[in-house]
A and B are shown apart, each in its own frame.
Chain A
Amino acid sequence: MIRARLRFSALRWQREAGGHSAGRTGPEGIVASARRAGAGARLGRAGGGGGRGPEVGIVGGGLAGFSAYQTLRRGGLSPDEIVVFDESPDPAAVWTRRARAIRQTHMRSESDGHCLPASFPGLAVREALKTGRVTPLLSSVANRYNPTVREFLAHVAELRERSGWDESVRPVLVDRIGVDAEFFSIGGVEVPHVLVATGHPGLAIPDELRGDPRAVHAYEPHEYARSVTVIGAGLAAATEWVNALAAGASVVSVRRREPERRRLNVPREWFSRRALDGYHRTGPAERAAILRRLLAPSFPPGTRWDEPLALAGERFRVEQSLNGAEQVICATGFRRGFQYDPLLRVLVAEHELETFQEWIVLDRDSTVPALTDERRTLALAGAAAQWAFPAADTLVGAKYAARGLLARVRCRTR
């Protein structure tokens, strides 16, 4: 099968090189820089005397793409078999900016929340080995180990260094994926398997606050005024309550519902087949209802959050609507839905992909059914893959999608 594809690819390249590019089927929806980068890639594939080109393309080089990349590498793919499309080679850049904005010091995820493909050794083991202390391991077995942001970023940097990530990254902005009979064209590169990990499609800001000079999103850099209103009820909101109180501000929490207290984004069994098997058997309406319930804002229980609020007394209160605060912090998370992601929106429109409300309908392994067959795979990771895995916007979720893709890559190359 691979040989056949390579022959086909070589013929195409020859035809294009001979001035018959107009005869190509399928659109080339890439920006100019992508065309230039991609041309080289095509030449490499065809001119390499039958050498293998990239097998997998990852669109999006954030933490989701990075974690998926590690899984694919562990699955036996070399750096030159994977091509990652992102403008920045730093997988933690976006996430770090947001974490800094809310002054996050510790990860919400526990020892398992890392970018390595296997759950062991986790960050607790890493810290125990580095420090010679057993405390991280004991905390980890009690689910009380939350690594620091610094520890996590150091882990990402190490992994980036040793996994060959930078070799695979192409600084390309992808705004469209070309779909062919046997593979996909991205930035001029043809790959049979694609994982779209474009991340959250922008920050969510309530319409009534757009253009309001007092308003700032929690994930944008900001300081604190003397009186602050925080909108939202998730982890970012809770962090902002504590931050603003620590900065001496008086804080009003505006929220539609009482926040849930959960250690992780979703209840633990939702990370495993134990809950997922039933989830995958549900119909669209029921599944959407489950997702809305599971994805409701939450933050972990514990004195770290409760104590500052209790000590604040009159300086912290809950209200139903905005008042005259000097500063309004929108801890309202991200926009939800494929409609807000330009790449996915185009993909859905062009190929009439099945959707339900704001979700693209996926198979249980995070693949898009209409664009996946025995020759090619298009899978989603990150928030866009919640239809297959409710905790898709976690690192574990990214690895889930990558494993699904890997199984198909193996199946095809076997």
Chain B
Amino acid sequence: MSYTLRGRVESRLASLLLPLAACCALSAALHLWWPLELCGLMAAVGVALDLQLYHRLLRYQPGWAALPLGLLELGLMLAFVRALGLEAPRVPALALFGGAWAVTQVLGQAGFPLLRLSYAADGGELGRLGVVSAIGVVATLASSAGFWWLRLPPTVHLSAGVHQGLLLIDRRERLVGDRGAIVRGGIVVRASGVTVKNVTVIGGEDGIVVDGVDHVVLDGVAVSGFALDGIHVRRAAVTIENCSIDSLGNVYAQGIDISYAFDKGMSHVMGCTIVGGQEGIAAHSVNVDIMDNRVSRTTLRGIAMTEMSMGMIEGNEIRNASGVGILCNDHSMCMIEKNTVVGTRAVDRHEWTNGYGVLVAYSSEADLRDNALSANPKPFGAIVDSVIRAR
């Protein structure tokens, strides 16, 4: 097929109508934006390639070229998804892309030629149908973007200085701290869709509590001086990134505790620095990815994934932990990859605190890959019906 530029764009946008309808339906059903974000990205990447690359390079496009071009577009999509931080689950996102690609092929090879006899001779142009389709796609994406923008939570700026807590957030909002904004006595989040960004929390029984809500983001928070947990999450799906938690001097504290949210969405803990306390990051009965964190000087475990939890423990650095560096425990399934565990100390002769870099215990399963485990009394071990698969 020798496309004209207009034909390329019209064919692409008309082919996107069906996937876009699916994206709208998915977004509405899931109450999530990622399907529409993906569709928007597909349209943008595709049209950009049409304008900048394909039209210039491909005077004629044979049928087989759909495959490499599809892979190129998939690669770019994945790169953009990562760069823009879109929270699209991998398999459904790939299925959506694959479905859209298949629809495009079926329409391009069969549907459009049957619908419009001159489709090939017109270089893929679809006449009025093309114009209507293009308007339809652009209008749908634009109205979705408008709707998204209208539904953005209000942003509340917390001014510099000390604000006496307990601070309760019970509506959807973005709480953004100015430089030097401090809340004394803790923050409690009781609404879904809340973002807390760049706020320092000092004191309180727990530093930040997230309870029974979803889609909460804690970004760049610093927590210290609490009695029990730095960040305490119960039955909630959260994303915690770039946090800093100081538990030094509190031997029973937990830096981050995410528990009992197996039926909720995936939680993420990324890029946090945690010092001191009994456990750095503890996950009980949740789906969670714990990635690229730095945990040090804990008195029992650096990172613990336990009570039938599932997830990745990847790229973390655990130094000078007492007892165990990384624990996968109690019927949990853990992917433990590319972590560094250094200088773990045995607390006593008890097996559970005997200085393991990685310990898999009590009917749990762990896949270990590319971990750097050094200066630990025992680099790794599996006890009580547990399995380690090293790759």
Contacts and interface: CB of A to CB of B under 8 A. Distances in A.
Contact of A141 (B63, B118, B123): B63
B121 A273 contact: yes
Interface stretch (B94-102, B107-115, B256-264, B293-301): B107-115
A269 B124 CA distance: 12
B121 A396 contact: yes
A272 B2 contact: yes
Nearest to A117: B117
A7 to B, nearest CB: 33
Contacts of A271: 2, 120-121
A199 B67 CA distance: 40
Interface of A: 71, 74-75, 112, 117-121, 140-143, 267-269, 271-277, 396, 399-400, 403
A119 B1 CA distance: 11
B64 interface: yes
Interface of B, secondary structure class, is loop
Contacts of B62: 141-143
Given A118-B114, A119-B120, A120-B114, A273 B4 contact: yes
Interface in B50-69: 59-60, 62-64, 66
B113 A400 contact: no
Nearest to B61: A268
A274 B3 CA distance: 6
Given A143-B62, A272-B121, A403-B118, 12 more contacts: A71-B117, A118-B117, A118-B119, A120-B110, A141-B64, A269-B59, A273-B122, A274-B2, A274-B7, A274-B59, A274-B123, A400-B121
Across chains A and B, which 8 residue pairs bring their CB atoms closest together, nearest first? A141-B63, A272-B2, A269-B2, A274-B2, A273-B123, A268-B60, A272-B123, A120-B113
Interface string B159-173: 000000000000000
A277 B119 CA distance: 15
B178 to A, nearest CB: 57
A396 B2 CA distance: 14
A268 B62 CA distance: 10
Interface residues of B, number: 23
B4 A140 contact: no
The listed residue with most A CB atoms (<10 A of its CB), out of B2, B64, B122, is B2
Interface in B232-251: none
6 contacts: A141-B66, A268-B2, A268-B60, A273-B4, A273-B121, A274-B3
Contact of B117 (A273, A275, A399): A399
A379 to B, nearest CB: 15
B279 interface: no
Contacts of A273: 4, 7, 121-123, 125
Interface string B273-308: 000000000000000000000000000000000000
A75 B117 CA distance: 9
A74 B114 CA distance: 10
Given A268-B2, A268-B60, A269-B59, A121 B110 contact: yes
Contact of A142 (B59, B64, B109): B64
A272 B117 contact: no
B57 to A, nearest CB: 13
B199 to A, nearest CB: 57
B61 to A, nearest CB: 9
A119 B99 CA distance: 24
Interface string B1-32: 11110010000000000000000000000000
B374 to A, nearest CB: 53
A274 B2 CA distance: 6
Contacts of B66: 141
A272 B122 contact: yes
Nearest to A119: B113
A112 B3 CA distance: 16
Given A119-B119, A403-B121, A272 B114 contact: no
Contacts of B59: 268-269, 274
Given A269-B59, A269-B60, A403 B114 contact: no
A290 to B, nearest CB: 16
A403 B120 CA distance: 12
Given A118-B113, A277-B4, A272 B120 contact: yes
A143 B2 contact: no
The listed residue with most A CB atoms (<10 A of its CB), out of B7, B121, B122, B125, is B121
A64 to B, nearest CB: 16
Contacts of B60: 267-269
A21 B64 CA distance: 63
A276 B63 CA distance: 21
Contacts of A276: 121
Contacts of B123: 272-274
A142 B63 contact: yes
B110 A143 contact: no
A126 to B, nearest CB: 13
Nearest to A276: B121
